[in-house]
């Protein structure tokens, strides 16, 4: 699973010889729909082209016309800052065999990727949320989905990754990916969601 979100905008306060200037930069996210509106009492400006910026002499100043910054200049001036920003949250879905806490073969293959995602975000918080399909009673499914979440929690702890906090939850059959009637087996609902942030 690839990262879908990254820091698109950052503000750099430059202090030079007693003056302070704010620079607002729209980073290249790889998507074409990103934009930022810079608004002050004196005017408004939209940045909607990647690697463009505007500057403000004060909170009440008119934003300057957009200027382009080359990727090389971006790296030289802001590379260390950009690289030091936290990685964006990432979500994984792990699926389970019917009525069990045994991962499907495909889901087992994601475990290495999950470990790498955690390591990239240390220190991080991880939410582990168990789910079930609608086979069995509601009470049974809450318990089963909790067992699945605890299974993944135990695996994460066993990896000794240095996670700051793990939150374990169980939704049972209440939040299906694929809505079904009672008694209908649905493999995509037998899952644990892992959110790493």
Domain definitions of the chain by residue range: 9-84, 90-196
> What whole-number distance in Å separates Cα of residue 114 and Cα of residue 107?
10
54: how many CB neighbours lie within 10 A of its CB? 20
Q: What fold is seen in the domain 90-196?
A: 60s Ribosomal Protein L30; Chain: A; (3.30.1330)
The predicted pLDDT at position 9 comes to 45
pLDDT in tens, 74-106: 889 888 888 888 888 999 999 999 999 999 999
Task: Tell me which of 80 and 18 has the higher pLDDT.
Answer: 80
Determine the pLDDT at residue 33.
Answer: 63
Q: Which residues, in sequence order, are bridge partners of residue 92?
A: 194
Q: What is the pLDDT of residue 119?
A: 95
Instruction: Say if residue 123 is preceded by a cis peptide, omega within 30 of 0.
Output: yes
Structural element, H or E, at residue 34: none
Q: By three-state DSSP, how is residue 19 classified?
A: strand
Q: Dump pLDDT digits (tens) for 123-156.
A: 899 999 999 999 999 999 999 999 999 999 999 9
What is the predicted pLDDT for the residue at 92?
A: 98
Q: What is the average pLDDT score of the chain?
A: 87
pTM of this prediction? 0.68
């Amino acid at each position: 699973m690839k990262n879908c979100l990254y820091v698109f905008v950052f503000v750099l306060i430059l202090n030079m010889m007693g003056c302070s200037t704010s620079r607002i930069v729209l980073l290249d996210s790889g998507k074409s729909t990103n934009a930022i509106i810079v608004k002050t009492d004196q005017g408004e400006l939209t940045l909607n082209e990647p690697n463009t910026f505007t500057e403000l002499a004060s909170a009440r100043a008119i934003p300057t016309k957009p200027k382009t910054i080359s990727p090389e200049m971006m790296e030289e001036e802001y590379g260390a800052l950009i690289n030091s920003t936290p990685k964006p949250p990432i979500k994984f879905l792990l699926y389970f065999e019917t009525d069990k806490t045994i991962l499907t073969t495909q889901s087992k293959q994601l475990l290495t990727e999950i470990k790498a995602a955690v390591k990239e975000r240390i220190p991080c918080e991880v939410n582990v949320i168990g789910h079930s399909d609608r086979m069995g009673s509601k009470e049974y499914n809450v318990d089963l989905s909790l067992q699945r979440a605890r299974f993944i929690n135990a695996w994460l702890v066993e990896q000794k990754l240095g996670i700051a906090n793990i939150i374990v939850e169980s939704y049972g059959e209440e939040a299906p990916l694929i809505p079904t009637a009672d008694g209908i087996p649905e493999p995509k609902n037998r899952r644990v969601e892992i959110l790493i942030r």
